[in-house]
Structure 1
Amino acid sequence: MSALRIEGYVIVSADGMLANAKHVMPDSLRFKGDQEFFNAALDRTGLIVHGRHSFEGQPNSPKRKRLILTSKTAALAADPSNPNAVLWNPAGATFDEACDCAGVRSGTVAIIGGPEVFAMFLDRYDTFWLSQAPHVRLPGGQPCLPGVPERSPQAILAAHGLKPGEPQILDASHDVSVTPWRRAG
């Protein structure tokens, strides 16, 4: 399904965490500039992929098509609580089958978490947008990718053939930036 462009989006603390020890994204990791960047990016995507605990919670969220990873269904099923969502069990259906079920065959697919969902696409990302909040620490938090904090998110992305581009400042007062990690070649 080469007509799909796969992009990941995450903001992490200085220690590579995307949530606190209770698996909740704390307010200390929310920044207006990053939220605006994220929301604008999702408005341009054709499909959002996430786990059952990840959700962007924005005004346009209910309008967006999405795949929600779950083990509660054998393969694919309509989400009874959201007409724009498909429940997807990767053990029972391929990503291409899930995209077909959601009616998406081209355009950008945004992967928004959690860690295992991000990891599923490490070898498929065209771009992984890594936002960083260098003054926030979340000891004992939930890492953005399996293998963090033993390895940095950057080291993991590089190990999967992604190369960093030019960072963009999203919130100068808190030094929050986003770096596009793109597939080499």
Structure 2
Amino acid sequence: MPDRRIEGYVIVSADGMLANAAHVMPDELKFEGDKQFFNAALDRADLILHGRHSHEDQPNSPRRRRIILTRRITAIAPDPSNRKATLWNPAAASFEAACDFAGVHSGTIAIIGGPAVFAMFMDRYDTFWLSQAPHVRLPDGEPCFPGVPARSPQQILAAHGLKAGEARILDSANDVSVTPWRRVGQISP
């Protein structure tokens, strides 16, 4: 298999939500330090992968090569509205085939959501970067992973063989931090 690193990225509220009840990331979950961390990570990635309702909405977004998961196509196709994007139906084609179609045979692949997309890669992440906003609560919001809030995001990551590394503060005024969860037995970069 080609040398591909799979990394996940999400910021969650204290209750493990990535969006509000309307499935929109609210302003209270947006912090400058986390935005800078996320943007820098995506600038380094060779490929971004997300569902059709997820996007990073940043100045560099149109320049990034990406795979968009959708059930609206047969298997794999170019995105007619974005020459840097590949559309992928995971029910009809493998992840490796989608990466090959996108022209990414090695490097870092950044998974940015939503919940079903994150779940597809739970047993394949090399690192999952979990940002947390401990003072934000989103009642009836959209959980970051299937199984939240019955289990915390941390419990779900641990159940899939990932182990927390040292947290880094991204916004000290709001106690926002990011923790790398790495596959057990891997050497950290």
TM-score, normalized by length of structure 1?
Answer: 0.99
Q: Distance in 1 between matches of 2:68 and 2:48?
A: 8
Aligned-pair distance for 1:2?
Answer: 4.2
**Which residue of structure 2 lines up, in the alignment, with residue 164 of structure 1?**
164
Conservation of the 8 A alpha-carbon contact between 2:131 and 2:179: yes
* Gap regions ≥5 residues in structure 1: none
Give 3-state SS (helix, strand or coil) of 1:100's partner: helix
**Which residue of structure 2 lines up, in the alignment, with residue 3 of structure 1?**
3
1:20-73 C-alpha deviation (Å, 9 max, x unpaired): 000000000000000000000000000000001100011110000000000000
Q: Distance in 2 between matches of 1:150 and 1:2?
A: 36
Which amino acid in structure 1 is aligned with residue 58 of structure 2? Q
What is the root-mean-square deviation of aligned Cα atoms in Å?
A: 0.5
**Which residue of structure 1 lines up, in the alignment, with residue 127 of structure 2?**
127
Q: Distance in 1 between matches of 2:19 and 2:74?
A: 29
TM-score, normalized by length of structure 2?
Answer: 0.97
Q: Distance in 1 between matches of 2:3 and 2:113?
A: 22
Q: Distance in 2 between matches of 1:100 and 1:115?
A: 24
**Which residue of structure 1 lines up, in the alignment, with residue 47 of structure 2?**
47
Give 3-state SS (helix, strand or coil) of 2:110's partner: strand
Conservation of the 8 A alpha-carbon contact between 2:7 and 2:110: yes
**Which residue of structure 2 lines up, in the alignment, with residue 106 of structure 1?**
106
**Which residue of structure 2 lines up, in the alignment, with residue 180 of structure 1?**
180
Give 3-state SS (helix, strand or coil) of 1:135's partner: coil
Q: Identity, % of aligned pairs?
A: 75
Give 3-state SS (helix, strand or coil) of 1:74's partner: coil
**Which residue of structure 2 lines up, in the alignment, with residue 24 of structure 1?**
24
**Which residue of structure 1 lines up, in the alignment, with residue 59 of structure 2?**
59
Q: Distance in 2 between matches of 1:75 and 1:173?
A: 46
Aligned structure 1 segments of 4 or more residues deviating by more than 4 angstroms: none
Q: Distance in 2 between matches of 1:2 and 1:135?
A: 41
Which amino acid in structure 2 is aligned with residue 97 of structure 1? A
**Which residue of structure 1 lines up, in the alignment, with residue 12 of structure 2?**
12
Q: Distance in 2 between matches of 1:155 and 1:9?
A: 16
